């Protein structure tokens, strides 16, 4: 997963995976069949481990606005620390592969839909609790946040400085007022 995340699909060879993992080529092919299936397994692992952790921030009990802010804060902290220059595996793959690979595009679209659904549920909860105006379109806001997240992840891949990321997040959060 980390190799694909760092280098992208095209720039990661099976030999790179063999060298990084110590697993021999025959075992990789025996387990995954081919490079595209290995990549899908890496995406599935990313969704189960990385994405799920981030979405748990939105699903916790409590006020919605702080949960949404914490989601973005976690993104920025990761981008400024151990994730410096990585961006997001899903965003990177979307840019690299989605236009050319329908199966990968479907997998990536499903992931974006999960993020949208989590944001929409959090926004609706915030509306029910009176902290987000009821007249706001929760689905449209959720889609807006998904778009902001994708833009931030591209900026993070490009190693944007923290002040730029914070400006984007601060402005995005104003949509909840």
Predicted local distance difference test score (pLDDT) of residue 101: 87
Residue 103 has pLDDT above 90, yes or no: no
Rounded mean pLDDT of the chain? 94
* Dist. CA 9–CA 21, nearest whole Å: 16
- pLDDT, residue 117, reads 97
Average pLDDT estimate for 21-40: 89
pLDDT of residue 177: 95
Cα separation of 177 and 161, whole Å?
A: 26
What digits encode the pLDDT tens for the residues 43-69?
999 999 999 999 999 998 899 999 999
Count of CA atoms in the C-beta half-sphere (13 A) of 44: 7
Work out the pLDDT band at 107, boundaries 50, 70, 90: confident
| Share of residues in the chain with pLDDT > 90 (%) | 81
Chain CA centroid to CA 77, Å? 14
Q: What confidence category does residue 98 fall into, taking pLDDT thresholds of 50, 70 and 90? A: confident
DSSP string for residues in 13-26: -HHHHHHHH---HH
Please enumerate in sequence order all residues whose Cβ is within 8 A of that of 39, keeping only pairs 6 or more positions apart, or say none: 4, 9, 93, 104
pLDDT at 175 over 90: yes
- Sign of the dihedral through C-alpha 30, 33, 38, 43: negative
Task: Spell out the domains of the chain, with CATH numbers in brackets.
Answer: 42-176 (1.10.357.10)
List, for residues 111-168, the tens digit of each pLDDT value.
999 999 999 999 999 999 999 999 999 999 999 999 999 999 999 999 999 999 999 9
Top-confidence residue, 104 or 147: 147
């Amino acid at each position: 997963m980390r190799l694909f995340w760092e280098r992208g699909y095209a720039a990661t060879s099976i030999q790179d995976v063999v060298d990084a993992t110590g697993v021999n080529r025959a075992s990789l092919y025996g387990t995954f069949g081919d490079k595209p299936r290995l990549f899908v397994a890496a995406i599935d692992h990313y969704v189960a481990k990385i994405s799920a952790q981030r979405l748990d921030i939105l699903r916790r009990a409590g006020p919605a606005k702080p949960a949404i802010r914490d989601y973005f804060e976690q993104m920025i902290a990761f981008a400024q620390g151990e994730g410096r220059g990585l961006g997001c595996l899903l965003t990177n793959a979307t840019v690299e592969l989605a236009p050319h690979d329908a199966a990968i595009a479907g997998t990536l679209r499903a992931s974006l839909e999960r993020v949208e659904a989590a944001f929409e549920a959090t926004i609706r909860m915030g509306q029910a609790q009176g902290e987000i105006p009821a007249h706001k379109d929760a689905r449209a806001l959720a889609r807006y946040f998904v778009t902001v997240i994708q833009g931030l992840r591209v900026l993070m891949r490009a190693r944007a400085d923290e002040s730029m990321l914070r400006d984007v997040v601060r402005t995005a959060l104003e949509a909840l007022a």
